[in-house]
Amino acid sequence: MTDITVPARKPARPHFSSGPCAKAPTFAPEKLATESLGRSHRAKIGKTRLQYCIDLMREVLQLPDTHRIGIVPGSDTGAFEMAMWTMLGAKPVTTLAWESFGEGWVTDAVKQLKLDPTVIRADYGQIPDLTQVDWSNDVLFTWNGTTSGVRVPSADFIPADREGLAFADATSGVFAYDIDWSKIDVATFSWQKVLGGEGGHGVLILGPRAVERLESYTPDRPLPKIFRLTKGGKLIEGIFKGETINTPSMLAVEDAIFALEWAKDLGGLEGLKARSDANAAALDKIVADRDWLGHLAADPATRSKTSVCLTVEGADTDFIKKFAAALEKEGAAFDLAGYRDAPAGLRIWCGATVNTQDIEDLGPWLDWAYATVKAAA
């Protein structure tokens, strides 16, 4: 077997997982504020820190005052299902699916809520024809398909005079793209994606039309306590002022605050977007320089700048497992294998918490792993 040259330099932070994602570059556990730990989240200090976290999210996201922000249980999944269970059924429903999480919302709408939605699909790497969407319906979509690397190009496909509500699962999209919040009625995400935060908590953003729906429509299905957003026909405003439905981890909240303060110091949303753009560009150059690598998302206009999914020439699932394992064993890159339901390939997180130099240093290691696995075949 021909000797394969091992690259001289490893990425300083080999964390390229698409969730939970790399921590902010300046993160260290001892830097987290600890005054709220061991205290009740209902105490003044707990409510103050939760409200501060909400205020920071609003500032960094440039979210208008028309939209409310709530911290809810169950990560992005919990937040999106909370929205589905409480609001869907008042109008016909359209679901868009071009990757596994979008398909998950289809399953919920069809099998659990039994709504008989219109389903518009596209294969992995593609996006549906967005002009097909009937906006007299409520419409569910993923802003950035984490498992396919395909995103919506913008909010331009959403009409300002829509009758239905726009539900955006934006978990890999917020803090990385410009979002026209006037076009979004419901958005959800989790800290564990673009902020590199801890899992278990979701964020639910409601525009005024979503609040109107909640206060005017009572679904004919039982709602678990952790899904209930209204009482006596009125929105429970406390949820959006740091009075969470269930007990939050104040350690996770402090971790999110640390990441948001880091983002604010970068210049807020513009700084985060610039870092993600630079990372995606660095990875794109790596792909362009190698004939055995390709983008699963063929169209750059709908290609993710955060969860970038790559094809590997001749690779099957077993090849990718060995590829990722070889890199992990060397401590050169962690968690690069594509999502289990996606076509066999690589998935490399390029969000703002990753340093561009680490993406650049990854390139030679991809060559090494490809050659190593091929040679052993």
335 with 370, same domain: the answer is yes
232 with 116, same domain: the answer is yes
Q: Which residue has the tokens 């331009």?
A: 156
Q: Is residue 121 part of a domain?
A: yes
Q: Please state, for a pLDDT cut of 70, what percent of the chain lies above it.
A: 99
Q: Is residue 235 part of a domain?
A: yes
90 with 54, same domain: the answer is yes
229 with 283, same domain: the answer is no
288 with 162, same domain: the answer is no
CA distance 17 to 23: 11
CA-wise closest residue to 18 among 108, 99, 105: 99
Q: Buried b / exposed e across 352-375, counting CB within 10 Å, b at 16+?
A: bbbbbebbbbbbbbbbbbbebbbe
**Which structural domain, as residue segments, surrounds residue 300?**
268-376
Write down the pLDDT at residue 44.
93
Write down the pLDDT at residue 371.
97
Q: Which CATH number belongs to the domain containing residue 273 in this structure? A: 3.90.1150.10
Confidence of residue 148 (pLDDT cuts 50, 70, 90): very high
Confidence of residue 6 (pLDDT cuts 50, 70, 90): very high
186 with 260, same domain: the answer is yes
Write down the pLDDT at residue 3.
76
Q: Please state, for a pLDDT cut of 90, what percent of the chain lies above it.
A: 98
Q: Is residue 218 part of a domain?
A: yes
130 with 163, same domain: the answer is yes
pLDDT tens, position by position, 102-143 = 999 999 999 999 999 999 999 999 999 999 999 999 999 999
Domain count across the chain: 2
**pLDDT at 351 > cutoff 70:** yes
Write down the pLDDT at residue 88.
98
Cis previous bond, 117, omega within 30: no
pLDDT tens, position by position, 224-254 = 999 999 999 999 999 999 999 999 999 999 9
Structural contact between residues 71 and 50, judged by C-beta atoms closer than 8 angstroms: yes
Q: Which of 229, 264, 299 is the last residue of a domain?
A: 264
pLDDT tens, position by position, 318-347 = 999 999 999 999 999 999 999 999 999 999
* 102, burial (CB in 10 Å: exposed 0-12, middle 13-18, buried 19+): buried
Q: Which CATH number belongs to the domain containing residue 88 in this structure? A: 3.40.640.10
224 with 314, same domain: the answer is no
Q: Is residue 20 part of a domain?
A: no
Q: State residue 334 phi and psi, 5-degree precision.
A: -115, 140
Structural contact between residues 327 and 335, judged by C-beta atoms closer than 8 angstroms: no
195 with 342, same domain: the answer is no
179 with 307, same domain: the answer is no
Write down the pLDDT at residue 377.
84
Q: What are the distances in angstroms from CA 180 to CA 18, 162, 183, 184? A: 24, 14, 6, 7
**pLDDT at 39 > cutoff 70:** yes
Q: Is residue 189 part of a domain?
A: yes
Write down the pLDDT at residue 256.
98
**No. of H helices and E strands in the chain?**
8, 14
Q: State residue 238 phi and psi, 5-degree precision.
A: -60, -30
At a CB cut-off of 8 Å and minimum separation 6, what does 156 contact? none
DSSP structure class, residue 12: S
Q: What angle do CA 244, 246, 247 make, to 5 degrees?
A: 90
**pLDDT at 266 > cutoff 70:** yes
Token pair of 147, please?
């498992």
Write down the pLDDT at residue 2.
59
Q: Give me the torsion for CA of 349, 350, 355, 358, rounded to 10°.
A: 60
**pLDDT at 184 > cutoff 90:** yes
pLDDT tens, position by position, 54-109 = 999 999 999 999 999 999 999 999 999 999 999 999 999 999 999 999 999 999 99
**pLDDT at 1 > cutoff 60:** no
Q: Which of 213, 245, 264 is the last residue of a domain?
A: 264
Q: Is residue 306 part of a domain?
A: yes
Specify the 3-state DSSP secondary structure of 97. strand
109 with 224, same domain: the answer is yes
Q: What is the identity of the amino acid at 200?
A: G
DSSP character string of 265-323: HHTTHHHHHHHHHHHHHHHHHHHHT-TTEEESS--GGGB-SSEEEEEETT--HHHHHHH
CA-wise closest residue to 83 among 196, 197, 239, 243: 239
Q: Which of 218, 236, 264 is the last residue of a domain?
A: 264
**pLDDT at 308 > cutoff 70:** yes
Specify the 3-state DSSP secondary structure of 54. helix
**pLDDT at 210 > cutoff 60:** yes
Q: What is the identity of the amino acid at 297?
A: A
Q: Is residue 11 part of a domain?
A: no
Quick check: pTM over 0.85?
yes
165 with 35, same domain: the answer is yes
